[in-house]
Chain A
Amino acid sequence: GIQVEQSPPDLILQEGANSTLRCNFSDSVNNLQWFHQNPWGQLINLFYIPSGTKQNGRLSATTVATERYSLLYISSSQTTDSGVYFCAGPFDQTGANNLFFGTGTRLTVIP
């Protein structure tokens, strides 16, 4: 199955700073998603982005499928951005939307 590596594993930012999180995957994917897990464990889908660029407020994501990586940009970070960010690719090649998650990037935003 696919392998997903995320970097950095941990990140500490001052409020207002910008950051870039990276996700490398071992094979071509047609289903790449970014999630945010808040400190209470709730997992929220941020982007479905198998290729190209999408933006949603202060967050944007870019996937370069031919080079097998995706980037998540967080601008003007806020304390509510704290938590763990996961990228996830397809669990298998069946076409089902089951996901294989990376190990995550833990983000802490300091006031």
Chain B
Amino acid sequence: DAGVTQSPTHLIKTRGQHVTLRCSPISGHKSVSWYQQVLGQGPQFIFQYYEKEERGRGNFPDRFSARQFPNYSSELNVNALLLGDSALYLCASSRTGAGANVLTFGAGSRLTVL
């Protein structure tokens, strides 16, 4: 079975632009979460979606938004990019959005903002 897949793997944008990152969860997983990992730090929680509804939100500005589609895949959108948005963006999936369900992470999308 395929794991969590993310695209694109690498991308370069300039300040002020918009970016869309995509994630496909493991088959059978209905929850998708997004994390931002800045170089040298641990991942930080951005959003969780379960059954196409937002179930959790971290401490990120409104420039960050996400959605989940009927097939449980997800998009993360970031508007008005800043230099500080340069990071590895990780997507994780789990069967449900709560309890003892272990998160499985994708390989990430590395965003560089110039």
Contact = CB atoms under 8 A, between A and B. Distances in A.
B99 interface: yes
Given A41-B88, A91-B45, A97 B108 contact: no
Q: How large is the interface on B (under 10, 10 to 19, 20 to 34, 35 or more residues)?
A: 20 to 34
A103 B41 contact: yes
Interface in B83-110: 88, 90, 94, 96-105, 107-108, 110
Nearest to A100: B45
A43 interface: yes
Nearest to B9: A41
B15 interface: no
Contacts of A33: 102-103
B55 to A, nearest CB: 6
B33 A98 contact: yes
Interface of B: 31, 33, 41-45, 48, 55-56, 58, 88, 90, 94, 96-105, 107-108, 110
Interface of A: 31, 33, 35, 40-45, 48, 50, 86, 88, 91-92, 94-104
